[in-house]
Amino acid sequence: MRILILTNYANGLYLFRRELLKALLADGHEVLVSLPPDDMTERLKGISAGGSSPQIIETPFERRGMNPFRDLKLFMTYGRLLRERKPDAVLTYTIKPNLYGGLACRLSHIPYLANVTGLGTAIESGGVLSRILLAMYRLSLNRAVTVFFQNQGNRDFLGRHGIGRDNGEVLPGSGVNLAEHPYCAYPSEEDGIRFLAVLRIMRDKGIGEYFAAAEQLKKAHPKLRFVLAGEYEEEERSHWEPEIRRLSEAGILDYVGHIDHVHDLMTECHVILHPSYHEGLSNVLLEAAACGRPVLASDVDGCTAAFLEGESGFSFAPRDAQAIVGSVERFLALTAEQRAEMGRAGRKYMEEHFDRQIVINRYREVLANAIG
């Protein structure tokens, strides 16, 4: 059959769902992908299985912000795309494709599967915009074949607002490729313990709290190293770039910029620190645990679902630099062997519950039932 995927970001689709695309192609389906163009689009075109590759349909739109006129244009673009391409089923990811793509599919009577990859600040903050978005979600998602949630907290929250009650289920995020992220032994601590944050550089990822905690901890423990990998959210670059420069020049932060393959960097570090305000299910934490690294992360549903509290990681209150400091001190109070054992426990947890093949198999089942 012909399957259309609607999403807002080539990078996320390539890094975390290319195995799903390969599986669909290998099953003989024609796969079309609609997304805004960026420098990762060519990599999507290079995916191949069953003698074919996905067809990319460049669909420009603003990933952030709510502009009624531009969003109406996106809805109309999706409607035209459905009429012209006539897909047998549609997969939607992230807020705008879920909202406008889901509604377009509903009106066109085309089966669609939505994936809620996180609620976002606009919904979680409450207020008028939150109520508008929740009403739009009810309109767009309640006729989906299935609404996949990445954590139970998100499903419960939307369920209380009448969204996805009868057609929702929880998947283990996008899963983790266990072969691509093999277990690696805990490294020597002789030259100090390295804390790695892999974050898009923006306020909602907790970057300010990470910086404040790193500055305080470096004074108390000079041998600690704080490493940051990630690209700027362009709207916030002017705010964070001078701060990163200052901390780097002071020897507090090692900023390595954007990297495509984070596995090697993770294995060189001892622990992953993830202070995000909200997540669907953090792929960073899944990959860290898969390669055997303990995690310290915000006490939010999309983070805590990725580890066992006290066994493979520690949680801390979000939006609180002092809570990060306390979590790091708790980690430092362990012996090196206890820290290594946390990493081994994390790997086992990934093997038992978060293998990416679980996600692929479930998509295959739901698609077969929806079309069959």
Residue 232's DSSP bridge partners are 201
Structural domain of residue 309, as residue ranges?
Answer: 194-353
Domain count, the chain: 2
- For 130-151, give one letter per residue: b (16+ CB within 10 A) or e: beebbebbeebbbbbbbbbbbb
Distances (CA, A) of 149 to 154, 172, 280, 302, 360: 7, 8, 8, 10, 15
pLDDT at 258: 87
What pLDDT tens digit does each residue of the chain (372 aa) get? 999 999 998 888 998 999 999 999 999 999 999 999 887 888 899 999 989 999 999 998 877 767 778 899 999 999 999 999 999 999 999 999 999 999 999 999 999 999 998 887 778 777 888 999 999 999 999 999 999 999 999 999 999 999 999 999 999 999 999 999 999 999 999 999 999 999 999 999 999 999 999 999 999 999 999 999 999 988 899 999 999 999 999 999 999 998 877 899 999 999 999 999 989 899 999 999 999 999 999 999 999 999 999 999 999 999 999 999 999 999 999 999 999 999 999 999 999 999 999 999 999 999 999 886
Residues 343 and 367 in one domain: no
Length of the chain: 372
Q: Is residue 182 part of a domain?
A: no
Q: Where do we find the tokens 């994936």?
A: 115
In this structure, the answer to whether residues 34 and 60 fall within a common structural domain is: yes
pLDDT of residue 189: 96
* Model pLDDT, residue 274: 98
CA distance 138 to 141: 6
> 227 in helix, strand or coil?
strand
Res 60: pLDDT: 86
Q: In terms of domains, do 18 and 154 share one?
A: yes
pLDDT at position 363, please? 97
CATH number at residue 7: 3.40.50.2000
Rounded CA-CA distance 3/22 in Å is: 13
**Among candidate residues 26, 19, 73, the one with its CA nearest the CA of residue 49:** 26
